[in-house]
A = this chain, B = another copy of it.
Amino acid sequence: MVQYTDIGDVSSAEVERMRAVYEPLAAAVRELIDATIRTEVDADTVGEVTAEIAAATARLRSRQCDGPFGVRSTTGGDRMAWGNPVIGIRNPIAPPLTIQRNDDGGVFTDFHLGAAYEGPPGHVHGGVSALVLDHVLGEVAANEETPRFTGTITLRYLRPTRLGELHAEARITRTDGFKAYAAGHLADEDGITVEAEGIFIQPKWARG
C-alpha cells in the first residue's frame, strides 16, 4: 500500500522557509558527488575529507525522520515530493528536473546532466534516460486528482545522448478508463536521442 503523508495546516510561507533551509544543502551535496567522482587528490587528503563527510552526516542524522521522506501534502495544497530522485529538491541524486506545463497540457523540462549520470564515456547512461523519461511521462499522465503509476513503458534509443544540456517532453496521446497513454522524448543539442511511450494506470485504491 502506497501511503501519502498529510502534514496538516502548514502555511505556504512555512513550506518556502523549509525549502530555503534544505535546498542549498542538497545543492552542495550534488557538487560533492561530482567532485567525488572526478577528484585526483592524494590518498591522505581523500582520507581526511572522508572523515569530514562522516562527521557532517552524523550531525545531520542527530535528528532525522524514520525511513524515507515520502510525499508530503499540506491542507492548503502544497505538495512536497522533495525526496524524489528526479525532481526532489532535497535529493542530491536528482538533477533536479523542474517540470513545466504547456498550454496544450503537455509537459517539458530543460536540464543538465554531468559526470554522475555517465554510462558510455561522455554520454548519458541509457538507464538514466529511462529514469528521466519514465518520470516526465508519469508527470503528464498523472496529477493530484488522478494518481497513475507506470504500467508499461517502452524506450527506443536512436543514438547515444551526450552529457550536457538536455531537453525532455511528453504529452498524453489518449485516455481509456483508468489508463492514460503518454508519449515523449529526450533530446540533446543535436536533436532527439530517445523516444518513449507508456501506459499509466490508476491504482485500485485511488479509483473513486
The listed residue (B37, B90, B91, B151) touching A69 by CB distance below 8 A is: B37
Whether A60 contacts B84 in the complex (CB less than 8 A), given A31-B54, A69-B118, A149-B120, comes out as no
Report the Cα distance A120→B189, complex, angstroms.
32
The listed residue (B22, B31, B125, B130) touching A153 by CB distance below 8 A is: B130
A102 CB contacts on chain B under 8 angstroms:
none
Which 8 residue pairs of A and B lie closest in terms of their CB atoms, listed nearest first?
A127-B134, A127-B131, A68-B115, A130-B130, A39-B60, A35-B60, A126-B150, A38-B64
Query: Oligomeric state, in number of copies?
Result: 2
Report the Cα distance A39→B22, complex, angstroms.
9
A133 CB contacts on chain B under 8 angstroms:
127
Is there an interface contact between B2 and A31, defined as CB atoms closer than 8 Å? no
Report the Cα distance A93→B125, complex, angstroms.
12
Binding-face segment, A8-16, A103-111, A154-162, A171-179: A154-162
Is there an interface contact between B84 and A125, defined as CB atoms closer than 8 Å? yes
Is there an interface contact between A91 and B116, defined as CB atoms closer than 8 Å? yes
C-beta contact mask, A54-81 vs B, less than 8 Å → 1, else 0?
1111011111110111110000000000
Interface residues on A, range: 35 or more
Report the Cα distance A62→B86, complex, angstroms.
29
Q: A32-B56, A68-B115 are in contact. List 14 more A-B contacts (CB 8 A).
A: A21-B46, A25-B50, A28-B53, A32-B57, A33-B33, A33-B92, A38-B64, A45-B60, A49-B59, A49-B60, A52-B55, A93-B117, A126-B149, A126-B153
A56 CB contacts on chain B under 8 angstroms:
32, 49, 52-53, 56
A59 CB contacts on chain B under 8 angstroms:
41, 45, 48-49
Is there an interface contact between B116 and A85, defined as CB atoms closer than 8 Å? yes
Report the Cα distance A92→B86, complex, angstroms.
15
